[in-house]
Amino acid sequence: MNMQSVAKITKIVFSLLLIAYLWKIFGPSNILSILSNAKLKYLGFGLSFLLLGQFASGVRHARILSILNVNLSMAHVIDIALLGTLLNQILPTGMGGDVYRVIRISEACSWESALASVILDRILGLLFKLSLIFCFFPIYLFMQIPLTVKLLIFLFSIIPLLFICFFLWLPSIYAYRNRIPAIISKWLEIIHDNSFHLNINNLKILIFPLIGGLFPYLICYACICISLGAYIHWTAYIYIIPLIFLAMQFPLSFGGWGIREGAAIYLFSTVGMDQGIALVSSSLFGLSLIATSLIGVLIMKISSISNYVLDVMCRRT
């Protein structure tokens, strides 16, 4: 068994054990009552926004490809992005969807451009989250959390934010490229070379896809909490959920399972949310990501089939 297989199994075991532990400690005894009394209108509203966010993420990737001069239809890229998101949620690597996107996009361009587009898509999405957390950092300083946690928020948000900006737009980092493995150096060179397309004018067309690729997720998460009876001030969702999304980036579990739930329990409890509700809400959000990705894929497939049928009928007439 190679190291890659060991890593996959470790992620699965870690996630399952962590989820089991959290449900044993914080799982509400009246879970069936909570779910049966959930306000369906908020759930429906949240799922609709999450589906919108899934499509917006696909639009963002399509825009990045257009900036890199890769000609692919937006519908095709959205279709690829939706299935990629689904695979990232259900595969233990957490990157299976990204590999799928690179393979599919490389059918229309070089693998270097395909790889750069996927990594830049990931980096820009993370950059937007980190920028938001940076803006909220004064709020975190006044939260009822230990000083060490505040320091961790700083270390895992502000410092990566500065590093990403430095890496993307300052070539001096390549003075150290000979000190790292050749394959990693090659990947960094591809990303760095393509990042020069991301000038101010091109970044402007990514603003709305970046917003659309984050805030619908945030709204969906908040709607799920509200539907289950989590009565906290609405502003708390705005500055706490990005921290939960940041915690999901740690490569300790697959699809963020376990890490997301633990972060939600801890952070939401600081603003008065019941820990059991926080756990159930986070788990439902994870299931919602899978469900809306699947729905999005089906919508795109049905649309593709419909267009094909219409095209055939037009040709016959």
User: Which residues, in sequence order, are CB contacts of 290 under 8 Å at separation 6+?
Assistant: 86, 89, 90
Number of domains making up the chain: 1
List per-residue pLDDT tens for the chain, 317 residues long: 566 666 677 778 888 899 999 999 999 988 988 898 899 999 999 999 999 999 999 899 998 888 888 888 888 888 888 888 888 887 766 677 888 898 989 888 888 888 888 888 888 888 888 888 888 988 998 888 888 888 888 888 878 777 776 666 555 455 555 555 554 555 555 566 555 556 666 667 778 888 888 899 999 999 999 999 888 888 999 999 999 998 888 777 777 889 999 999 999 999 999 999 999 999 999 999 999 988 888 887 787 777 666 666 666 66
Which pLDDT does position 64 carry in this prediction?
87
Which pLDDT does position 238 carry in this prediction?
93
Q: Quick one: residue 69, left, alpha or beta (phi over 0 = left, psi -120 to 50 = alpha)?
A: left
Which pLDDT does position 280 carry in this prediction?
96
Q: Which domain holds residue 209?
A: 3-316
Which pLDDT does position 190 carry in this prediction?
59
Which pLDDT does position 217 carry in this prediction?
94
**Max CA distance (Å), the chain:** 72
CB 66 within 8 A of CB 80: no
pTM equals: 0.85
Cα gap 69→65, rounded to integer Å: 6
User: Which residues, in sequence order, are CB contacts of 92 under 8 Å at separation 6+?
Assistant: 8, 9, 11, 12, 254
